Homo-oligomer: A and B are copies of this chain.
């Protein structure tokens, strides 16, 4: 490997419909066009059930258990959208639960070797069921409501059925227990 100093502007290697592949000083990564952020939502109902979503993820050819999450600012309808507003919207779309409040828990890049993605974690407070969830018309999402004490067992059973678990789920629970940054 020989990579230059990261002080030259990125060079476009390819533009897909959603992803652009860049080379910046010898480091390659993708960026999503028109997306300003990614929100991940830690949502626990008043009676202690964690809201999880399950869906087929083409990139890994498996169904994956994840926290509810979504893109911010994608599409004309969501241009200029604030992170917390996107978190409220995505939680309703995916799980059918409305949140009274979204509390920021922290943010950071999850895949710096391949992507410029930065994810922002929110704690959803004051949950009310308002719809069926399941995602928008491009998505096919199964919602799970898992009591916190049963979570490790639920995930082990899911793994035994061949499902994958996105580690952002563990990160979200860690941040929930730690609480918002001071």
How many residues from A make CB contacts under 8 Å with B? 64
- Most chain B C-beta atoms within 10 Å of own C-beta, residue among A61, A112, A159, A168: A112
Q: Is the CB of B21 within 8 A of A165?
A: no
Contacts of A21 in B (CB 8 A): 13-14, 16, 19, 21, 30
CA distance A30 to B113 in the complex (A): 11
The smallest beta-carbon distance between A113 and chain B, in angstroms, is 7
Contacts of A181 in B (CB 8 A): 156, 159
CA distance A56 to B107 in the complex (A): 17
Q: Is the CB of A60 within 8 A of B28?
A: no
Cβ 8 A contact of A168, one of B38, B138, B167, B178: B167
Cβ 8 A contact of A29, one of B28, B58, B171: B58
Contact with B along A137-172 (1 / 0, CB 8 A): 010000000000000100010010000111111110
Contacts of A101 in B (CB 8 A): none
Q: Is the CB of A106 within 8 A of B167?
A: yes
The smallest beta-carbon distance between A71 and chain B, in angstroms, is 8
Q: Is the CB of A111 within 8 A of B111?
A: yes
Contact with B along A65-86 (1 / 0, CB 8 A): 0100001000000000000000
**CB-CB contacts below 8 Å: A41-99 with B:** 56-62, 64, 66, 71
Q: Which 6 A-B pairs have the closest CB atoms?
A: A14-B14, A111-B111, A29-B59, A170-B174, A167-B171, A27-B58
